[in-house]
Structure 1
Amino acid sequence: MKTSNPVLARLGQAAERERSAGYAQPGQYGYGQPGIPQQYPGQPGSPVAPAATGTMTLDDVVVKTVALLGILGVSAAAAWVLVPDALLGVAWIGAAMVGLALGLVISFSRMANPALVIAYAVVEGAFVGLVSKVFETRYDGVVLQAVVATFGVFFVMTMLYKARVIRATPKFVKGMIAVMAGLFAVMMINFVLALFGVNTGLRDGSPLAIGFSLVAIVVAALSFVLSFKEVEDGVRMGLPARYSWTAAFGIVVSLVWLYLELLRLISYFQGDD
């Protein structure tokens, strides 16, 4: 089964190699080797039979996504309560760096790694909790509004994808990957410059900042289409069940990104307390 998603294609190739490795290679069990009787898994001196694993299903992805959101929520609440106000700045920057590193490792890994995905949810939860606390302290009620808006957008995108109003065509996938890469680069440059006190105007509540946030929100919402397509293709390709963690990771990343952009946009329209 072919897929237009390059990340999923890479995972599919890795999974195919796993499946191939699980079967005997020529001569592995004594076939074609003179003087060596044919052996089968379980016999003395024979290779151990590979453990049977299920394939990825939609239910697997739903369960893993809910689990990751639960972990993220608990971590966010813990960070909100436990981290003192004096350390908020250092803590959220540190969590952002670690979360980014874990996210990149997971995204470019050729193997599904549930432990890394769970670790990402913990670290990203701390980051989200700390950032949310900063915004809520300054703009009362903004966190609840952003949470409701995030899941509202997610529901709408789910319905649009299910109704095939929006389709993940190869051209759409390539375009989205290019746009997301560009946005990521701009955000990283802006983040680094902000650390040195340089204001680019992208995050200060100006018309430029509002426009940038609106673009980011639209792209974040459309990124769900890539995640949904990834799940569909993963199920059709028969990827091993543990790859459902990777699919769930993609959905959670999009949700967090959308939430943070909505949080920022809503704050632009609220006055300081």
Structure 2
Amino acid sequence: MKTSNPVLARLGQAAERERATGYAPAGPYGQPGTGQPYPTQAGHPAAPPTVAPMTVDDVVVKTVTLLGITGLSAAAAWVLVPDSLLFGAWIGAAIVGLVLGLVISFSRVANPALVVTYAVVEGVFVGLVSKFFEVVAGYQGIVLQAVVATFGVFFLMAALYKMKVIRATPKFTRGLIAAMVGVFAVMMINLVLSLFGVDTGLRSGGPVAIIFSLICIVIASLSFVLSFHEVEEGVRLGLPQRYSWTAAFGILVSLIWLYIEILRLLSFLQGDD
């Protein structure tokens, strides 16, 4: 089985090794976590246990689960965090979420507990950002508009991918990853400059800010293509079922990024009214 994605290729090889060799559970036939194959009573290796491969349905269920956790966490943060602590909690959740996201992204194994924790933390972040725009800044109805627009874009991209209008070719993947890295670098530079009182105009609500938000929205939307491709390739490679959590994590990251950018753009547009 071959794939152009080196990460998926590595995971596919790991899946093949896992199917070829079993791991003994607690009890008389081996110790947990030792990687010892299952022995028979005669001392010869027995057939390894079946490793259930991930399916598209697994990814859908995990994605819906993570969205539900994120939504509940967002609602709780909206209600429980007072306005006086809004900014501090917002920044704290953003930093913790970034660290968790990097750990999950560069991890060699799927960690459902870590992914769920990320959903909880990002829910706090999303809830506080939403409360700021809707309540503190006074943009009535902006959260509902952003939610509808976010899922509208998601389903549109899913339809385009399903109809093969957009495919994750190697050239497309390289270009999109380069664009994502570039945008992230610009965001970091803008953040550092803002700490020193330098206003670049990227987040001030003017024409430059609107154009930058539109660019971010386009890139975030196209990132779904990479997520859909990873799910498709993961199923084809027969990755273990637990990797559906990793695939769902990728979709959740894109959804949150897209929602925040749409929320920001709507605030710019309403501010011009």
TM-score (structure 1 length as normaliser): 0.88
> Are the counterparts in 1 of residues 205 and 271 from structure 2 also a CA contact under 8 Å?
no
- Aligned with residue 85 of structure 1, among 59, 77, 83: 83
- Aligned with residue 125 of structure 2, among 99, 124, 127: 127
CA deviations 1:3-30 (Å, max 9, x no partner) are 2234333433443443454389xxxxxx
Instruction: State the secondary structure of the residue aligned to 1:270.
Output: helix
What's the counterpart of residue 142 of structure 1?
Answer: 142
Unaligned runs of 5+ in 1: 25-38
What's the counterpart of residue 267 of structure 1?
Answer: 267
Equivalent pairs counted in the alignment come to 259
Task: List structure 1 segments (4+ residues) > 4 angstroms apart after TM superposition.
Answer: 44-51
Give the C-alpha shift of residue 206 in structure 1.
Answer: 1.1
Instruction: State the secondary structure of the residue aligned to 1:269.
Output: helix
Instruction: State the secondary structure of the residue aligned to 2:193.
Output: helix
CA deviations 1:32-67 (Å, max 9, x no partner) are xxxxxxx97242867797553310000000000000
> Are the counterparts in 1 of residues 18 and 51 from structure 2 also a CA contact under 8 Å?
no
Q: Percent identity?
A: 76
Distance 2:182 2:6 in 1: 17
Query: 1:238 aligned to 2:238?
Result: yes
Give the C-alpha shift of residue 185 in structure 1.
Answer: 1.5
TM-score (structure 2 length as normaliser): 0.88
Distance 1:7 1:145 in 2: 36
Instruction: State the secondary structure of the residue aligned to 1:168.
Output: coil
Distance 1:150 1:40 in 2: 48
Unaligned runs of 5+ in 2: 25-36
What's the counterpart of residue 112 of structure 2?
Answer: 114
What's the counterpart of residue 199 of structure 1?
Answer: 199
Distance 2:234 2:151 in 1: 24
Distance 1:46 1:195 in 2: 65
Distance 1:222 1:272 in 2: 28
| Segment drifting more, 12-21 vs 96-105 | 12-21
CA 1:149–1:21 in structure 2 vs 1: closer, same or farther (change >3 Å)?
same
What's the counterpart of residue 177 of structure 2?
Answer: 177
What's the counterpart of residue 69 of structure 2?
Answer: 71
Query: 1:257 aligned to 2:257?
Result: yes
Instruction: State the secondary structure of the residue aligned to 1:9.
Output: helix
CA deviations 1:110-129 (Å, max 9, x no partner) are 11111111010000110000
